[in-house]
Amino acid sequence: MRFHLTRFAVATRFALVEHGRNRFAMILVGLFVPVWTTLAYLAMPDTPARMRLRATGEALAPHGNELTEISGALNAVTLITGFMMFAATFGGSGFDRRLAMAGYPRAHLVLAKVTALALASATVAAYATAVTCLAWTPRRPLLLAAALFCAGLTYGALGVGFGSLLRREVEGMFAIVMTSIIDLALQNPITSSGADNPIMRYLPSYGAMQAGTAAGFSTSPVPDHLAIQLTWFAAAALVALVGFRRSTRSFLPSAPQTSLPAQRSDPAGPLARPHQAAAPSPTVSDTEAS
């Protein structure tokens, strides 16, 4: 048990140090979250937007700027966590491969990445919730934080998958940005007239968007939609696990195994073999003749 805890602690420390060195991600957390959510609140009109919340079946009329701020907070959290996990996976893939080839357990490396993702998602979600509460007070801030946290987990796992499977950094960044923008823009009734379309339930952050909207404007519980979001996280984590296993496999050719022919032991010894008989020693007559 102590062996596993030590390996897990060392791998987790490596993962957290890797995130701490990503100064651009720290700047995004400190500046992008408040700037994006504040602009979404101030720039959008506060006209009530009539909508039906699928999570509870209620007909709501939230202010447009408040609803857009929830969508902006989700967009900020998903982008940051996805970018952080993609950068750590893409930049540290060589190091992870060397560790795995040296015999470091892959399970400990995977658990360390999940722990780092959970800590990063919790930090960014709590920060985004606090920033949101500065402008207006959602009815259930803890549920909003939980929705942001689950969305961060999902996109963080997607970031690990992109970092393991894609070969160029620009490809992963584009994939994360476009996935988050399309995902959340289609679900916001302020910017999309088809937000009530049933196809929206198949988007990656559908559960988080429904739970976040319920946290802001409803008092009904929505555990099912948090479970939907966690199901998306599990699916994304499975893809990330396959990609991580692929990126840390050994590319060295396996040495061919040759079998040597078995040698039978002869209990009679070499004297019993006629072809290996000892040469006769010269006699006295042979010596005199020479």
Cβ–Cβ under 8 Å, residues 144 and 132:
yes
Chain centroid, CA 147 distance in Å:
18
Token digits for 126?
A: 């709590």
Token digits for 5?
A: 């805890």
Q: Evaluate if pTM is beyond 0.85.
A: no
Gap between the terminal Cα atoms of the chain: 84
Tell me the torsion sign for CA atoms 223, 225, 229, 234. positive
Q: To 5 degrees, how large is the angle CA 154–CA 158–CA 161?
A: 145
H/E run at residue 58: strand 58-60
Q: To 5 degrees, how large is the angle CA 259–CA 260–CA 264?
A: 130
Q: To 5 degrees, how large is the angle CA 5–CA 10–CA 14?
A: 145
Token digits for 249?
A: 């496999």
pLDDT value of position 280: 53
pLDDT value of position 178: 92
pLDDT value of position 77: 94
Environment class of 240 (CB within 10 Å of its CB; exposed 0-12, middle 13-18, buried 19+): buried
Where do runs of H (alpha helix) occur along the chain?
A: 2-20, 23-27, 33-43, 64-91, 93-101, 106-135, 141-165, 169-185, 206-217, 223-247, 284-289
pLDDT value of position 287: 44
Q: State the 10-residue block means of pLDDT for the chain, 290 residues long.
A: 80 84 84 89 86 85 90 93 89 79 82 91 94 92 95 94 86 90 86 78 92 91 92 93 78 52 50 48 47
Token digits for 288?
A: 């005199």
